[in-house]
Structures are given as C-alpha cells and as structure tokens.
Amino acid sequence: MKSLQDRLKEKGLRSSYQRIKILEYLEKNRTHPTVDAIYEALKEKLPSISKTTIYNTLKSFLETGLISDLTISGHEVMYDAETKPHSHFLCKSCGTVLDVVDIKCPHVRKEVDGNKVEEVHLYFKGLCKKCLPEGRKQ
C-alpha cells in the first residue's frame, strides 16, 4: 500500500498537510461525502481549513484521477476515493450512497453513434436495508 504522500507525488501534486488529511478522510470514509461533510469532519483538527480549500483540493484530485465524483442525489456532488468504475445505490429515505460492485452495466460501449464514451454511470435508487420496513426485507 503506497503512502498518501507517494500517491500525491505520483500525480504531480504537492503534498501539504491539508491535502494529505483530505485524501486520508476520503480513503477511510467510503461514504461518498460532500464538501460540507468533509469540512465538518476536518475543521476541528484543521481549524484553518476552509470549504474553498477543500473544494479546490478535491478539484485537483479529480483532475489527476486520484478520486472520482458522482452526482447521484441530483443536487450535490459527492466524492469517492474509489476510482475503478463501479455503480451506486442511493437510499431515498436516509440519503446513504452505497457502492455496488458486482453489477456491471450491460450497455457499456466504447462509442455511441460515433461519440467516444469515457465514463458510464449507473445509479440505483430506492430504500436501503436499514430503511426498509419490516416485512419488506428480502
């Protein structure tokens, strides 16, 4: 397992303490946090951090392929330390976003009508196991 410093260096990113803490948070919390959630989690340990810093850091992580993002909820961007293609499930009740790793979209193609496909996002929405009323569980 490469150190976080090495992973930043590999992507040509300067490794500052704040950057390492943000990447570390994403690696440890595979809950697809938003900028707000990351800010809330880090502001105690990093009192000088701002949402703008977090946003800009995430942007540079995205541009270099260190992380991925998703917009499953339709109103906010979520960030994911997993960069391999995978699908997501959104619980419409509690807002939890789970990784779906065992289902691949059957329609994945390299091109559609001559247009080159670079990303395919498959979003499932419904009620998670915790929110399903008793009796409706499988």
Q: How far is the CB of 111 from Zn ion (least distance, A)?
A: 25
| 27 versus 82: smaller Cβ distance to Zn ion | 82
Query: Residue 14: enclosing H or E segment and its boundaries?
Result: none
Q: Distance between CA atoms of 99 and 78, rounded to whole angstroms? A: 13
Q: How far is the CB of 43 from Zn ion (least distance, A)?
A: 24
Q: How far is the CB of 57 from Zn ion (least distance, A)?
A: 19
* Residues in contact with Zn ion by the rule CB under 5 A: 80, 82, 91, 93-94, 96, 99, 128, 131
Of 61, 7, 5, 14, nearest to 38 by C-alpha is 61
Q: Identify the sign of the CA torsion 26, 31, 36, 37.
A: negative
| 45 versus 129: smaller Cβ distance to Zn ion | 129
| 4 versus 128: smaller Cβ distance to Zn ion | 128
Q: Distance between CA atoms of 94 and 127, rounded to whole angstroms? A: 8
